[in-house]
Amino acid sequence: MQKNLTLIFFLALFSCIAFFPIAWMFGGSLYEGGSISFVYYHDIFLTKKYADIISRSLILASVAAIFAVLMGVPAGFFLAKTNFFLKNFYKLCFFIPLIIPPYTIGIAWTNILGKAGFLNQFLSHYLFLPPQSVSAFIYSIYGASFILSMNLFPLIMIMTEYALKNVPSSLEESGLISGSFFQVMKGITLPLISPVIFSGMMIAFVFSLSEFGVPSLLQLNVLTTQIFTQFSAFYNEKAATALAFPLIMITIIIFASEQCKMRGKSFEILGKSGSQAFMEYHFTWLRVSGLVFCTVLFLIVIILPFCSLLISIDTFKVYRDAFALAKNGIVNSVVFGGIGASILTVVGFFLGYATEKTRWRLKEGISTFVWIFFAVPATVAGIGLIKLWNRPHGAFQFIYGTFGIILIGYIIRFVPLSSRIMANFFRQIPQSMEEAGAVTGASWFRITGNILAPLQKNGIIATWIISFIFCIGELGTTLLVYPPGHETLPIALFTVMANSPENIVSALTLLLIGMTLLPVGIFFLISKYAFAKKITP
């Protein structure tokens, strides 16, 4: 009872916060000239033009997701499974691309791969690639995918890492008896964490699908840019909303496919015994390849794009100016991000539980319902929020006039994300752990506090970090709803980006990185000790 009430409470909470503004928007888009009409949907589905656009979006997203997996899974694997020089340094650095707005990464890459870019010249000089084709690449769908995948791989990396840390050694030991290292990884370890990888991939996919900055920078004709055009050239928010519909459809399809793929299988692996918590391998060749891989990755995703940032900063004064511009934003970012991430983690925890561990008949429905909000474009969410919350009445004004509205924005945008991650980590907790608690007559809260939460430790860490980074990076919705004086760092960055000296922009970007990495780093330390009881699955 306690259990169901709690879960239903969080479910209701999320529905109220997220459902109404979005429903409002879509309702509006169905309502034209005083009556129900499908004008805005009609040609989305019936014209060739949109077929092309949608397929282009799909290509963009899939390629990005695949690239992200190709980078993220090995990275996470090496971080979790072996130990090498600078491991933790790399681990922290690899968050940078996730922190920096894709738009900025895009600019960095167009800079270095553009005709005049040094990398382009390098390539054309040594690899005899015609400069045209290189810059053509970066301005193409695939260029965009490339940029986005670099932005998103840390997400998959961290999920992979923590999922791997949940795989108890005994399962690998029993494999190593008869199989080689590779066979075990291929046949046992990776399949065991496949749900996590898979959902990471899904998140990357949907994110690239609904990302706007990069496609617009590269002037790609995809759904998001179409939506934007409708919004900002034609001021036709209904049409724009209608265009978001295919996004949601695709998301649902992807999600359903995942649910099917995982049905029947079990990934309950925690609590099995073994010689140690989880296997770390110390083959020299493995360490070396780990080091090599991470170094190369580091060069590609960090050094190449961002060295330009560094060199463009000449004086220290620049930092002072940048700081002056951003100090308000810094505080806000960290505070809002921290609170937001924590809320997301809590809500995600319970929703994830509800959709993964209950016997509810509707739970698949619920998880789908929660998930679709991830596809709602930021602008739609923002405008929906304004229309819903911007009312003269006290309570509304109170929320709308304070950073409450920003938090609500975070919840709409990212609870689908956090609850998905949680759900997939919950998959790894055996039912029996909870049952054993229940028969002792423990209240569900006690079980949650003393059994589920500690066992979910890795999931919680991963979720918090990811949520935190995403919250800090949120722009589309926050921009529309933030009350004066509540701007966050990215907003500070983007509002001065246009027409301010490049070195200021660079300095701001670095500030943004620092301000995000610092808490994350601290959080790593805390999480090491906070869950003092070492859980050794």
Partner 1 sequence: NEVVVYSSEDKIFSEPVLKAFEKKTGIAVRAIYDTEEAKSTGLLHRLLAERENPQADVFWCGDPVRPALLETKGVTTSYYSPIAKEIPENYKDEGGHWTGFSARARVILYNTDLVSMDEKPLSIFDLVKPEWRNQVAIANPLFGTTALHMAALFIVSGDEEAKKFLNDLKRNGIKIVSSNGEVKRLVSRGEVKAGITDTDDANVAILDNYPVKIVFPDKDGIGTLIMPNTVCLIKNGPNQENGKKLIDYLLSREVEKKLAWDMCAQMPLRYDVETPAHVFSINAITGMNVDYHNVAKKMEEINGFLKQWAGF
Partner 2 sequence: MKSLQVKQLVKTFDKKEIVKGISFEIEKGQLLTLLGPSGCGKTTTLRMIAGIEIPDRGEILIDEKLASSDKKIYISQKERHIGMVFQDLALWPHMTVYENIEFGLKSNGIRRDERRKKIEEVLQCINMQKYARAYPQTLSGGQKQLVAIARSIVTRPRLLLMDEPLSNIDVKLRQDIRQEIKRIQQETNITTLYVTHDQEDAFFLSNRIAVINEGKIEQIGSPEEIYFSPESLFVAQFVGESNCIDVKITGKDRLLTPWGGYVHPTNKLTTGTAKIFFRPHQVKIDPDGRCEGKIVKRDFMGEWFRYHVSSSGVEIVLYDENNYDVGKYVKFSINKMVTI
Residues lying near partner 1 in the complex (CB under 8 A):
103, 107, 111, 114-117, 135, 213, 216-219, 221, 225-226, 229, 231-235, 237, 325, 379, 382-383, 386-387, 390-392, 475, 479-485, 487, 491, 494-502, 504
Tokens 């809590």 — which residue?
346
Among 83, 123, 272, 401, binds partner 2 (CB under 8 A): 272
Whole-angstrom CA distances from 212 to 227, 349, 459 are 9, 29, 29
Does residue 439 interact with partner 2 by CB under 8 A? yes
Burial 61-80 (b: 16+ CB within 10 A, else e): bbbbbebbbebbbbbbbbbb
Q: How close are the terminal C-alpha atoms of the chain, in Å?
A: 29
Residue of 87, 132, 93, 92 whose CA lies nearest to 113: 132
Classify the C-alpha dihedral 358-364-366-370 as positive or negative.
positive
**Residue 441 partner contact from partner 2, partner 1, none using kind-dependent CB cut-offs of 5 to 8 Å:** partner 2
Least distance between partner 2 and beta carbon 288 (Å):
19
Q: Where are the alpha helices (DSSP H) in 233-375?
A: 237-262, 284-298, 304-312, 317-356, 363-372
Does residue 280 interact with partner 2 by CB under 8 A? no
Does residue 397 interact with partner 2 by CB under 8 A? no
Cβ proximity to partner 1, 250 vs 481, nearer residue: 481
Report the C-alpha gap between 94 and 359 in whole angstroms. 38
Does residue 534 interact with partner 2 by CB under 8 A? yes
Burial 136-151 (b: 16+ CB within 10 A, else e): eebbebbbbbbbbbbb
Least distance between partner 2 and beta carbon 268 (Å):
6
Cβ proximity to partner 1, 44 vs 421, nearer residue: 44
Cβ proximity to partner 1, 227 vs 513, nearer residue: 227
Least distance between partner 1 and beta carbon 27 (Å):
15
**DSSP-assigned beta bridge partners for residue 35:** 32
Ramachandran category for residue 125: left, alpha or beta (phi over 0 → left; psi -120 to 50 → alpha): alpha
Classify the C-alpha dihedral 342-343-346-347 as positive or negative.
negative
Cβ proximity to partner 2, 136 vs 190, nearer residue: 190
Cβ proximity to partner 2, 35 vs 275, nearer residue: 275
**DSSP-assigned beta bridge partners for residue 31:** 36
**DSSP-assigned beta bridge partners for residue 36:** 31
Q: Segment contacting partner 2 (CB under 8 A): 249-257, 273-281, 331-339, 390-398? A: 273-281
Q: Segment contacting partner 2 (CB under 8 A): 185-193, 229-237, 316-324, 402-410? A: 185-193
Least distance between partner 2 and beta carbon 329 (Å):
39
Among 451, 475, 496, 517, binds partner 2 (CB under 8 A): 451
Does residue 177 interact with partner 2 by CB under 8 A? yes
Least distance between partner 2 and beta carbon 344 (Å):
24
Query: What crossing angle do the helices spanning 48-81 and 223-232 adopt, rounded to 10°?
Result: 120
Cβ within 8 Å of residue 98, ≥6 positions away: 151, 152, 154, 155, 469, 473
Report the C-alpha gap between 378 and 394 in whole angstroms. 26
Cβ proximity to partner 2, 363 vs 387, nearer residue: 363
Q: Segment contacting partner 2 (CB under 8 A): 109-117, 154-162, 408-416, 431-439? A: 431-439
Tokens 């014209």 — which residue?
47
Does residue 430 interact with partner 2 by CB under 8 A? yes
Cβ proximity to partner 1, 47 vs 266, nearer residue: 47
Cβ proximity to partner 1, 297 vs 325, nearer residue: 325
**Residue 1 partner contact from partner 1, partner 2, none using kind-dependent CB cut-offs of 5 to 8 Å:** partner 2
Cβ proximity to partner 1, 23 vs 256, nearer residue: 23
Does residue 173 interact with partner 2 by CB under 8 A? yes
Residue of 474, 495, 475, 477 whose CA lies nearest to 388: 477
Query: Which positions touch partner 2 (CB under 8 A)?
Result: 1, 170-171, 173-180, 183-184, 187-188, 191-192, 194, 264-275, 430, 432-433, 435-443, 446, 450-451, 454-455, 457, 533-537
